[in-house]
Structure 1
Amino acid sequence: MPHPASDLSAVRRPIAHAQGLPNAHYTDAGVFEEEKQALLFSQWAGLAAQADVPEPGDAVPMSFLGVPLLLIRDKQGQVRVFQNTCRHRGMILVEEPRKIEGAIRCPYHSWCYATDGRLVSTPHVGGPGQNTHDGIDRATLGLIEVRSHLWFGVVWINLSGDAPAFEIAMSGLLARWAEFDHPLFHGGAESRFQLEVDCNWKLAVENYCESYHLPWVHPGLNSYSRLEDHYHIEQPGEYSGQGTMVYRQIRNENGDVFPDFTGLSDKWDTAAEYVAAYPNVLLGVHRDHAFAIILVPDSVGHTTEHVHLFYTRPATDEGLRARNAQQWKTVFEEDIFVVQGMQRGRLAPGFDGGRFSPAMDGPTHLFHDWVAGKIETHRARPRAAE
């Protein structure tokens, strides 16, 4: 049953009359479970970076909202996502990141799976020394594969299996950033970091969407890329965010910059854009690098932000990459007190979800409206089936 405090009609009003999502959507464990299904399992959600499994045989176990998953690059070089569970008795197959040299072997009864998920060995399943049995059809007992798609250096998954094709679901963003349809090269160890934040994951999305807070939360950034240099980015049902007409390239002590993406239009000489791809991936594009922040909702009040920076070539200046990563880490860390403060503020029973500035909060309101619409659709499904 939906939480009694989660009436969403006020959220879906036009922005001048709308209220934000009720407190329960940030503090209530039951609503968190409902949103898990409505917002994260049923959509194309970000799981990890392709660079987490760079070589064939690389395997990384991970949990996504409690579901045990195995990210693997199979022996043919294809990135796949499987449920990290043996089809025999449900044992976890891989406990730590490692290279799969032969097969994925279950530590319980030694059933073995190829890196493409096929069940290839079932020792003693028919009795001692008998490795087959008529009742065990290996062809139907491969690992359960999770629907996945690779784009922008990110491994996207659809756990429910019934979302529209990624190219349809993200068609607006694919078209908007078609100029950046080039290979992205992960910057390496110094170009990845994570931030642990005591807030509901949606607050990280909401804050990222808008530029309204720049003068007060990011005074260094705002000193050259000012609030008035920014514009809204709004695509109902898919993404929202902000752009700036003033992007300043980072330089090393010799004045060198990162090489640009090829074939960009003149707009990108000075512009940059920052978009929240619903539900949980925050993306940024610039003429010379890009980044992805994958928000992992660990619980109703805690989120891990996995940050990855990408470049136009595999080998760029290591010191400059490290400097760029530190610059972005500083900016993202400046947001932590804000999202954690909003999380604590949601414990105030009289807070009604807040208001939106029609001039400044359009991207954030769009995200709230998307959340409310998906939840309403999710709630309607059981009744339709009755």
Structure 2
Amino acid sequence: MGIPFLIPKETMDRLSRPTGEGAACLLNACYTDSGWLELENECLFAQTWMFAGSIDNVPQPGDVFPTTIGNKPVVLVHGRDGEIRAFHNVCRHRSAIVAEQACSNQSVLTCPYHAWAYGLGGKLRTHPHFNGADVHDVSRDGPGLVPIRLGLFHRTIFLNLDGKAAPFEDYIAPLARRLSGHDLSALRLAKTLVWEVKANWKLVFENYFENYHIFAIHPRLDAFALMTSRQGFEFEDKLFHTEVAFGEPEGGRGVGLPYYPGLTPELERLEGGYHLFPSCCYQIWPDQLTVFQVLPVAPDHTIENLHVFMIGDAATDGAFGGARQGVYDMWDELNREDINAIEWMQQGRYSPAFDGGILSGHWDPSHQHFAKLVVESMA
């Protein structure tokens, strides 16, 4: 059944109107219904490129890092041959996952249920007692782990589960162009901050690419870069973007951390925010990069991961410990302010008095475009 039959015609019509002239976003069920989330898992997350982690999660041969794409368990593996690969994290025998937690110095992935072992390249190595007690099947031509298409953007890793998405280079190109003035080669993962939100994953992203709320709930951020310097997010297909000039970094953005080498004076005072639909958000500053990842758990439950990257030794050296902690504290403060607002919106999505919202022609074209992308992806 196509999406137009799942969404009332009135809602589809309002999605198509000019922003600010009676347009609206998705109906409440898209944020509260478990069946809708199942559709998103199958038709949206599985059919596009999704952020899965970074090289820093599997820096050495033998490193293993399990995670999820939507509701699908996957595992990143750094092979002994130096290649980073991704597989569906499921044993071909009886569906148990083969990697329960991140680990290092592995030569095989062993299913904890019946000890089937797979090499780091995915091939089946052993399946003991398969033909009876002490009657081992020693053949190595059995079904291996199912590989997943993988793309690399500097240190970040993206996966496409169904293998049919457009080339990764095409997907990432708009973001790559906007970050081309920053030398990202020296970035290293400093820390991943984690929060849980009692709200739908779409509200998390919708809050991210909306600058309208900053004056009301982010006093520290508003003082750092005034409301008069902010505009609504613009968009080109699946990339949402905004750039904001700011003053001195004493507003709380990592004072004392090294900058990217070779920045122009303009980029030394520029914040860039970018959402790659439907996967993640990149936030670029002169001294750091953050990747904001959401993991949907239920229609009203989302895990947020903020991966904070810094330049060279600043990511780990004790000399920068105080500056790093200042960055972490700042991000924690901002995200907790956002979480309050996001959970307020989720509560309101259960009200029959809300019918998709009243959109501002100045601030909200991005929200309408986001809603259209969701619908188009699942049609």
TM-score normalised to structure 1 length: 0.87
Q: Is this contact kept in 2: 1:280–1:296, CA < 8 A?
A: no
Does 1:146 pair with 2:148? yes
- Paired with 1:157 and 1:247, the residues of 2 have a C-alpha distance of 37
Q: Is 1:342 the counterpart of 2:345 in the alignment? A: yes
Match of 1:74 among 71, 75, 79: 79
SS in structure 1 of the partner of residue 43 of structure 2? helix
1:253-273 superposed Cα distances (whole Å, 9 cap, x missing partner): xx9622111233332121111
Q: Among residues 363, 367, 372, which one is paired with 2:366 in the alignment?
A: 363
Deviations along 1:230-276, whole A, 9 cap, x unmatched? 23442332121332111542599xx9622111233332121111111
* Contiguous gaps of at least 5 residues in structure 2: none
- Which residues in structure 2 correspond to 1:89-128 (within 5 Å)? 89-123=94-128, 125=130, 128=134
Q: What's the counterpart of residue 225 of structure 1? A: 225
Change (3 A) 1:247 1:120: farther
Aligned: 1:295 with 2:297: no
Q: By how many angstroms is 1:145 displaced?
A: 1.1
2:50/2:69 contact within 8 Å kept = no
Instruction: State the match for 2:242 in structure 1.
Output: 242
* 1:318 partner SS: helix
Q: Distance in 2 between matches of 1:108 and 1:185?
A: 39
Q: Distance between the aligned counterparts of 1:245 and 1:109, measured in 2?
A: 57
Q: SS in structure 2 opposite 1:266?
A: coil
CA distance in 2, matches of 1:263, 1:256: 18
| Aligned residue in 1 for 2:263 | 264
CA distance in 1, matches of 2:32, 2:136: 54
Q: CA RMSD in A?
A: 2.4
Q: Any conservation in 2 of the 1:236–1:370 contact (CA below 8 Å)?
A: no
Alpha-carbon deviations, 1:345-385, whole Å to 9, x = none? 1111131101211112232232222222223xxx3xxxxxx
Are residue 322 (structure 1) and residue 325 (structure 2) matched? yes
> What is the CA–CA distance in structure 1 between the aligned matches of 2:251 and 2:353, rounded to whole Å?
49
In 1, distance between residues paired with 2:74 and 2:322?
Answer: 35
CA contact under 8 A between 1:93 and 1:106: conserved in structure 2?
A: yes
The 10-residue stretch of structure 1 (157-166 or 86-95) with the greater mean CA deviation from structure 2: 86-95
Is 1:59 the counterpart of 2:59 in the alignment?
no
Residues 1:11 and 2:18 aligned together: no
Question: Counterpart of 2:43?
Answer: 38
Shift in Å, 1:99: 2.2
CA pair 193-171 structure 1, distance change in 2 beyond 3 A: same
Alpha-carbon offset, residue 67 of structure 1: 1.6
Provide closer, same or farther for how the CA distance between residues 101 and 224 of structure 1 changes in structure 2, counting only shifts above 3 A: closer
The structure-2 alpha-carbon separation of the partners of 1:79 and 1:322, relative to structure 1 and needing over 3 Å to count, comes to farther
1:146-178 CA distances to partner (integer Å, 9 max, x unpaired)?
A: 112222543211112111111112221111212
Distance 2:164 2:152 in 1: 17
Instruction: State the SS of the aligned residue for 2:107.
Output: coil
Give the aligned partner of residue 161 of structure 1: 163
Please give the alpha-carbon distance, in whole angstroms, between the structure 1 residues aligned to 2:330 and 2:227. 19
Alpha-carbon distance in 1 for matches of 2:250, 2:83: 34
Q: CA separation in 1, counterparts of 2:331 and 2:74? A: 29
Change in 2 beyond 3 A, CA 1:83/1:269: same
1:373 corresponds in structure 2 to 376
- Shift of residue 104, structure 1, vs aligned partner: 1.6
Percent of residue pairs bearing the same amino acid type: 29
Deviations 1:123-144 (A, max 9, x none): 45566555445xx734xx2211
Name the structure 1 match of 2:304. Answer: 305
8 Å CA contact 2:51, 2:279 repeated in 1: yes
Shift of 1:58: 1.7
Does 1:285 find its partner at 2:287? no
Provide the secondary structure at the position in 1 that maps to 2:40.
Answer: helix
Task: Work out the CA distance in 2 between the residues paired with 1:338 and 1:325.
Answer: 20
| TM-superposed deviation, 1:304 | 0.5
Q: Quote the Cα distance in structure 2 between the aligned partners of 1:303 and 1:52.
A: 21
Q: Which amino acid aligns with 2:325?
A: A
Task: Please give the per-residue CA displacement for 1:94-147, whole angstroms capped at 9, x wherever unaligned.
Answer: 2232224332223344332111212233445566555445xx734xx2211111
Cα offset, 1:281, TM superposition? 0.4
Distance 2:300 2:231 in 1: 30
Whole-angstrom distance in 2 between the partners of 1:27 and 1:344: 10
Between the aligned partners of 1:74 and 1:332, the Cα distance in structure 2 is 36
Name the SS of the counterpart of 1:274 in structure 2. Answer: strand
State the alpha-carbon separation in 1 of the partners of residues 323 and 223 from structure 2. Answer: 22
Name 1:382's counterpart in structure 2.
Answer: none
| Amino acid in structure 2 at the alignment position of 1:360 | W
Shifted more, 330-339 versus 358-367: the winner is 358-367
Look up the match of 1:383: none
C-alpha change, 1:203 and 1:130, in structure 2 (3 Å) is closer
C-alpha change, 1:83 and 1:350, in structure 2 (3 Å) is: same
Report the counterpart of residue 209 of structure 2 in structure 1: 209
- The answer to whether the 8 A contact 2:66-2:100 is kept is yes
- In the alignment, the residues of structure 2 paired with residue 331 and residue 251 of structure 1 have an alpha-carbon distance, to the nearest angstrom, of 13
Is 1:137 the counterpart of 2:141 in the alignment?
Answer: yes
Asked if the contact 1:45–1:156 (Cα under 8 Å) also holds between the matched residues in 2, the reply is: yes
